[in-house]
Amino acid sequence: MQLKNDLLLRAARGEKTERTPVWLMRQAGRILPEYRAVRDSVSGFIELAQTPELAAEVTIQPVDLLGVDAAIIFSDILVIPEAMGLPYEMVEKRGPWFPETVRTESDLKKLRVADGENDLKYVIDAIQITKKALNGRVPLIGFAGAPWTIFAYMVEGSGSKTFSKSREKLYRDPVFSHKLLQLITDSTINYLKAQIRAGANLVQIFDSWAGILGPEQYREFSLKYISQICDAITEVPVTVFAKGAFFAREEMGQLNCETVGLDWNMGIAESRRLIGGEKTLQGNLDPAALYGNPDQVRAATIEMMEQFRGSRHIANLGHGVYPDIDPEMVKVFIQTVKEFK
């Protein structure tokens, strides 16, 4: 299907664009009352994500309500461990929780390499429904968590400030760690390819807990697996967003991906120098800047855009939009990007 707005894809590939494309991480939900109304109609987050028609509805809401240049499928990075045989729960005000964890060889034997089409059919169905409903208005972004981030949850059993159990495993049992990371990587490649076959125009890899590792460990236990995924996905552009991995920017410039996402702690000029001119950079306004009034949001956005001027860029925040941010300020951010000359 011919896209009416293909700015995101052209920007990712480094082609000329009339203006900078803009979208937001976590735009599908959280800030929008329309999203909360849909979520309140079901038992919670997981049921919403597993009901394709509803997942499609909340995926499209930001396109209609905020005017972003892309939709990102409403789902969760933790669908992969579930598809591998490790179910999770989403506990209100606490986040994801795994009743069982993976810490021994016998735990490993209970897992399987996930098959994208069958084990995650509800996501694939949601993508197909979304594509039909979008009718070529904007591209659809698919995504998955990076293997290290998924590993951290599977070993730890929940979110954590330190992920000390997961990091302990890397030191004490690197053989086990590499086995689990490879299982996750193979599952993720299958999953992303299934998303692409269903209609995803671009895919993003989220390494949410990248910054909790030191440079050497990140190289061995995260970057090499992200690299495998980038090498395997040849059908559509790939974006890698590794929160906190400021020390790996030069190596990210070597990945077989089109776009590198920056968090708001990564200096723009320095990042461009380290990553090089052959990649599109995505980001990286501090989400907290959107707590300002319209003039403040506009000024912060223009300041960011000036720093990216003249280079390959997709405008976004440096992390997901916070749930208590006023949607009107999000609209100011988006409009300011669109009007920037």
How many whole angstroms separate alpha carbon 28 and alpha carbon 39? 11
Annotated catalytic residue 153: yes
How many whole angstroms separate alpha carbon 248 and alpha carbon 219? 8
Alpha helices in the chain (DSSP H): 7-12, 33-40, 45-49, 52-65, 79-84, 105-109, 116-119, 121-134, 147-156, 164-172, 174-198, 215-218, 224-232, 249-252, 268-275, 294-308, 327-339
The one catalytic residue in 10, 13, 19, 30 is 30
Annotated catalytic residue 122: no
How many whole angstroms separate alpha carbon 205 and alpha carbon 226? 8
| 161, 90 contact by CB (below 8 A) | no
The one catalytic residue in 10, 26, 137, 298 is 26
Burial classification of residue 332, based on how many CB atoms lie within 10 Å of its CB (0-12 exposed, 13-18 middle, 19 or more buried): buried
The one catalytic residue in 35, 153, 218, 225 is 153
Annotated catalytic residue 10: no
Q: How many CB atoms lie within 10 A of CB 40?
A: 9
Question: Which value, in Å, is the radius of gyration of the alpha carbons in the chain?
Answer: 19
For CA atoms 254, 256, 262, 265, the dihedral sign is negative
| 70, 138 contact by CB (below 8 A) | yes
Helix (H), strand (E) counts: the chain: 17, 9
The one catalytic residue in 39, 137, 197, 219 is 39
How many whole angstroms separate alpha carbon 279 and alpha carbon 230? 13
| 146, 242 contact by CB (below 8 A) | yes
Q: Please give the positions annotated as active site.
A: 26, 30, 39, 76, 153
